[in-house]
Amino acid sequence: MSEEPSDTPAETSQERNLPEGDAEMPSEEAPDGEIMPVKTELPSQTAEVPSGESQETSELVEGREDERFPEKDVLMPTSPSPGPLEAPEVTFLPTETAVGEGSVREEKQQRVSSGLQTKKKSSVKVSKSISKAPKVKQEGQMPKDIVTKPSRVKEDLRFSHETVVKVEAPEKEVREKGSVENQRPSEEEGLNKEPGTELSQDERPALEAEMMVQEGLEQHPIISASSDAGGPAEAETMLQHPIVQKSEASQELAETRQEEVVSLEKESVPEDAAREADLAVQTKEESLSGQASLEMSPKEGEPSGAPSPLQGLPPVEEKESVVSYALPGMMFEDTTEEVSAHPLTLSWVFGYNSRLPVFNLMDEDRRVILYVSSHTAVIHDLQRNKQYHLQGHSSCISCICVSEDRRWIATADRGPESLLIVWDGYSAVPVHTIFDSHPEGGVSAIAISHDSRFLATVGAGEVQKVCIWKWTSPETKPVCSAELLPQYGFQDYIAFNSRNHCELVSNSATQVIFYVWEGERLQYHTPLLTDRTFNKAVGIFSQSLFHFSTEQVVTGTLEGKLVVWEATNPPSKSATTCIKPYNMKAVKLVHLQKDGITALTVMEKTIVTCDVKGHIKFYDGSLQLLHWYSQFKLGPIRSISFSKQPMCPLNASQFPSSCTLTGQPLIVRNFILSTWDGVVVHVMTEGMKVSKCLEEPKGAVHAIACHPAKPLLAKGSACGLLKVWNYKLDKYIVSRIFKSQSIRSICYNHNGSLLAVGFADGTVYILDSVSLANSCPEPFKYSKGKIIHMSFSHDTQYLATADDNMSVALYKQVIADEKKVWERLAALRSHYKPVRTILFGVHLDSDKPRLLSLGEDRLLVEYDLEKSVKDELVVIRRDRIEQSAVPKYITWYPPLTTEYFFLTANDQYKMKIYNVTTKMCRKTVLGPTYGSPLEKIQVLPPTEGCGPEKRYLAYITTDKVGLQILPVDGNPHKSSAFICHPAGVSNFVCSYEGCHIFTAGGNDLSVMKWDVNLNVLEAAVSLGGKDLVPFYNLLDGGREGEFFRELEDYFYYAQLRHQGIDTMEPRKVSTHIPLEQIPFVMRAMGFYPTEEQIENMLNEVKFGEYLETGKQVTEINLGDFIKLYVNHRPAFGLSIREIEAAFRLLGYENENQEASLDRNDLLLLLQHKGEHFTEEELTECLTTLLGINPEGGFSEGGTYDSTGAEAFLEEEIPEEITATHFVAEILGLPVPEPTSAGMERTTETKNNELTTNS
């Protein structure tokens, strides 16, 4: 019994074999994890349980010989003669998920008098096993509730012999959970009989068993663990099966269990089947338990427990959860590189969200911090320069908190899914996820209780909601919640009372709110505090916290003051207002300092404040100053996080002296500071060693560029910080700060010797890429707008820039005084809408540079560099490359064929290929459809091991980054995308070797490095099917659907139509149709292309084989027609929103605020604008749509007769036409129901799709 806990992990695992998901979790036992003695008397005071459900606590207690135990029964396994491999186990099961909990509560607890005094070896073994537990808990405690239930078979093997042992809960547990005793009066009546009361026949054996157990404890006290449920039934659920003798019922049950184990060993049972088998065993056990009476103690000379039929069977192997054996920093120990299962894998994050706190996770043998970047929480080992990423959110993380022992990390976001995730900080495994925690707007603040068992969240909606979550429970609903009134301000901070998790405090900029929750009820109070309360300015509230030793609460303000709140009990008030939280009141306003307080925390027995000047001050419980740090020269401090381990100083003189009369050294733990300016520093208090951990931009990051021949990444931010990183080593190289300037764009020249930087004020710097010094004596300050695009020519002879004033400027390198210098050549406003791309290339017949620009005005402009002179930029030609779509980007298509092309992407999810000389559209394909159109595209450089025909395209959308296999053909399985920056990705670049992609998040202040795995992308293509299979799947119903059969009918009808409907000649049926029949089949299938789209389709087919054969194609087969149809039709059908937008642009809003057009105006627009109709064509179309010409016009039946059409149209078409009337009454298309405002564009377009297939 006096054996000390072992430090050897192997011994601990031998004595306590945890099943899958089991782990040491934090509980409400003593913080140091020591073994607590059994109390002989119940405490006199009890407190109400704050929740309606049972509250779990766990205490290790030691039994004594003459104790009377309260209603706490713990089942402890014993064994007659345990062998060397049969160590008795104590397994903690989650109360909420324990097997057979209901049946245990319904029955009286079974007690047997076992021959405990004869089992010395077994009892010592148990005590040894449990005595090791506190050693594990010191590393990081795990709430028992979260442990996964072990399998049924392993339970049976473990608990073949069990003994009921009664232990008493420690005083702390009973005080906090005392009211649970009242939840089971039937059990209390059976356990606490008055003297002289007659016992029933069922109760008498139980009392005798209890007496026998007491006698056994006199000789061999057993250290056991009590359940934290606060009642006997909760203790029973820890170890479920009481010992039974070989009665008929028990023997039948044992045989049933043995059969289940044998079947599991002989057959490879799937998981679902195993669950069904477990359920069958449980059901049979419950039926048998009703037949078997309470078993008596064994006869003298017999063993304490009947031998189990399962003892001779080998144990069932279970995969142990990584959480159960995780240790601090374990995730960084694994040096093996796992092969990614995704085409893109996040490998490094540059920058962090300085608006959220930074936490100190480890500060002993290694230095590990935790921070947030966009939608990812980053665990960063600073000494080993490693990162581990907690990825699970699809929206930016809005708040984060960490448990006191640094084991549990909770993150939440403000996205539409309102996700809340709890992570194991040792193994980086998500252990609990709550969906739709605050669907009205996400989470604005989060806190975790002192015992790590509860979470508090504050919603970010218009009406904020405060919720308390018991995350260790499988419940997905909060324990309690309350809505706050909008006049209280936006509550963005919340904290638990470290001494009572039933009390909380939150604050906005103007209001502090106090909470007390009990059961399912959450009460709150909003005490009034204004400048008139103390006749002094209070200031804006920053943070609040509970005092470490009193019932007071303190709130810091940006006026440098501290508000002290306290519970008051005035005699004039009613009894209901004299209890918390209604009696909380501001009792003092302490003016601590001149500088505003930005952060508050408690470190041991001191209150720590941080302010806007970067100072840290320490106060005692009476707010007397003990010490301060003012030498760091930092900006406003966002957070401070102390080491979790207390200091053990070797030389106390190395610590600062306190500001007290005695001048004793102030022993302060090491801590991490983070500022609003993006700086993170580590302070080692012993000897005052300060080291900078991170220095990241505090402004938006839009500008990034990769060196063309070295693993270097340059990034510029809106705060003027320019940094260069070595992305192979993930180390910072050099930086430069441009004060009072904002960097908008950067680019390297062809050999990486120069780095051009464009600023928001129109200034252009040309720097040396190594030292970041000016290559030109003075910067260029000619542009009046933001420099948004920059590019060097292939020979570094020219530099072109574009600003947000739609102007393109050209800089040229000239020789002056035998030196190469840069001069501004000319500028031209060549677009009337924003410029999307500047593109340098090389002429096909020479090595001279070629410059083009593409704008949202749909114009592709090419410039004559040779003829351009000072102040005159010459344009060769302007080509309109889109009819209605807006082009997003243009790049050079790789030379996969003998013909050279441009590749463009537009806002209608299409990619197009244009001939570089004639600008003819040669191909149109469906692009990636991942929620938003492509914003930027770039061809990956050739990678090692891939032939020249294997090329790939990288792209970004509004919030995603992806890859596409070339050549483009519309196959959706050739592309893949991943969320990179939920708030919006502003830019991306590729590394020179094509192995990495870097994305800039703009306002989320981060840049992410993604590793490229092309093999995974190729595997996805093969899984999607070959030849036409991927395109069949894009049709409604697929290859076997009605749509495809209808397409076949139209395809062959087109052959009949081409040969003549009324001809008497023999029919020639083939697998092809002439090209001139393509528009008719397209329209028959519900796609109505414009004349320009028809021309593009015909050119695509006609010249598809021209370079190979020298001949034009004159017909098309069914397979190629399906590809043509899928790639050219609208990606999401015709949307009513587009028609409404056109009516608003061309017409007006009527009195009902509906987009409308006059009938005459509509007819004139159709005849004179765009691809205009002739009067006869318009009359034919309208009469056909309105039903007067049902045959479909003169094409089929001969000449169209328009007699009486004018009067008919005036009668059928109203003078005022709304968009809805035009769609429903004239076009005859269904009008969709209105969709919710929060849906994504893809969902909206699908719901608003208008088709005529029916």
pLDDT band for position 819 (cuts 50, 70, 90): confident
Bridge partners of 226?
Answer: 59
Look-up: residue for tokens 């820039």?
A: 801
pLDDT average, residue stretch 806-831? 92
The b/e string for 213-248 (b: 16+ C-beta within 10 A; e otherwise) is: bbebbeebbbbbbbbbbbbbbbbbbbbbbbbbbeee
Task: Tell me the pLDDT of the chain averaged across its residues.
Answer: 77
Q: How many residues make up the chain in this entry?
A: 1254
Which pLDDT score, from 0 to 100, does residue 521 have? 93
Look-up: residue for tokens 């004159």?
A: 1114
Query: Highest mean pLDDT: which of 127-136, 578-587, 796-805?
Result: 796-805
pLDDT band for position 314 (cuts 50, 70, 90): low
Answer yes or no: is pLDDT of 1129 > 80. yes
Answer yes or no: is pLDDT of 309 > 90. no
CA dist 393 and 415 (Å) reads 9
Which pLDDT score, from 0 to 100, does residue 161 have? 35
Nearest of 368, 65, 103, 417 to residue 213 by alpha carbon: 65
CA dist 281 and 257 (Å) reads 7
Which pLDDT score, from 0 to 100, does residue 948 have? 72
Q: Sort 432 into a burial class: Cβ within 10 Å, 0-12 / 13-18 / 19+.
A: buried
CA dist 606 and 602 (Å) reads 6
633 φψ region: left (φ > 0), alpha (ψ -120 to 50), beta (else): left
The token pair at 1185 is: 């749509």
Which pLDDT score, from 0 to 100, does residue 122 have? 35
Which pLDDT score, from 0 to 100, does residue 654 have? 76
pLDDT average, residue stretch 462-487? 93
Q: Sort 1024 into a burial class: Cβ within 10 Å, 0-12 / 13-18 / 19+.
A: middle
- Write out pLDDT tens, residues 864-907: 999 999 999 999 999 999 999 999 999 999 988 888 999 999 99
Which pLDDT score, from 0 to 100, does residue 688 have? 86
CA dist 333 and 426 (Å) reads 11
Least confident of 329-338, 518-527, 1017-1026: 329-338
- Write out pLDDT tens, residues 728-748: 999 999 999 999 899 999 999
pLDDT average, residue stretch 1222-1250? 56
Which pLDDT score, from 0 to 100, does residue 962 have? 97
Contact 155, 212 (CB under 8 A): no
pLDDT band for position 226 (cuts 50, 70, 90): very low
Residue ranges with strand state E in 793-858: 798-803, 808-816, 819-828, 835-842, 849-855
pLDDT band for position 319 (cuts 50, 70, 90): low
The token pair at 156 is: 């049976």
Which pLDDT score, from 0 to 100, does residue 140 have? 45
Q: How many CB atoms lie within 10 A of CB 651?
A: 9
Q: Pick the residue with more confidence: 534 or 1249?
A: 534
Answer yes or no: is pLDDT of 38 > 70. no
Contact 215, 264 (CB under 8 A): no
Answer yes or no: is pLDDT of 278 > 80. no
Please tell me what DSSP assigns to residue 929. -
Least confident of 660-669, 804-813, 1022-1031: 660-669
CA dist 732 and 692 (Å) reads 13
Which pLDDT score, from 0 to 100, does residue 617 have? 94
The token pair at 64 is: 């004594």
Answer yes or no: is pLDDT of 1247 > 60. no
Answer yes or no: is pLDDT of 148 > 60. no
Answer yes or no: is pLDDT of 106 > 80. no
The type of residue at 862 is E
Could you tell me the CA-to-CA distances from 866 to 243, 812, 843, 872, 875 in Å, in that order? 97, 11, 12, 11, 11
pLDDT average, residue stretch 495-515? 95
The token pair at 894 is: 């790789």
Q: Sort 1012 into a burial class: Cβ within 10 Å, 0-12 / 13-18 / 19+.
A: buried
pLDDT band for position 339 (cuts 50, 70, 90): confident
Contact 792, 708 (CB under 8 A): no
Which pLDDT score, from 0 to 100, does residue 1065 have? 75
pLDDT average, residue stretch 679-686? 92
**Residue 967 preceded by cis peptide, ω within 30:** yes
Contact 837, 890 (CB under 8 A): yes
Taking the CA atoms of 1065, 1071, 1072 and 1077 in sequence, report the sign of the dihedral they define: positive
Which pLDDT score, from 0 to 100, does residue 280 have? 42
Alpha carbons within 13 A on the beta-carbon side of 1080: 19
Answer yes or no: is pLDDT of 102 > 50. no
Alpha carbons within 13 A on the beta-carbon side of 456: 25
Determine which helix (DSSP H) or strand (DSSP E) holds 432, and give its type and residue range: strand 429-434
Answer yes or no: is pLDDT of 188 > 80. no
CA dist 1057 and 286 (Å) reads 76
pLDDT average, residue stretch 485-491? 94
Beta strand pairing status for 36-37 and 59-62? parallel
Answer yes or no: is pLDDT of 553 > 90. yes
Could you tell me the CA-to-CA distances from 1233 to 749, 1139, 1154, 1247, 1248 in Å, in that order? 53, 15, 16, 8, 8
Q: Pick the residue with more confidence: 790 or 1246?
A: 790
Nearest of 1101, 1046, 1103, 1045 to residue 1078 by alpha carbon: 1101
Please tell me what DSSP assigns to residue 34. P
CA dist 469 and 436 (Å) reads 13
pTM above 0.85, yes or no: no
The type of residue at 970 is G
CA dist 1040 and 1032 (Å) reads 9
- Write out pLDDT tens, residues 751-796: 999 999 999 999 999 999 999 999 988 999 999 899 999 999 999 9
pLDDT average, residue stretch 432-438? 94
CA dist 88 and 17 (Å) reads 9
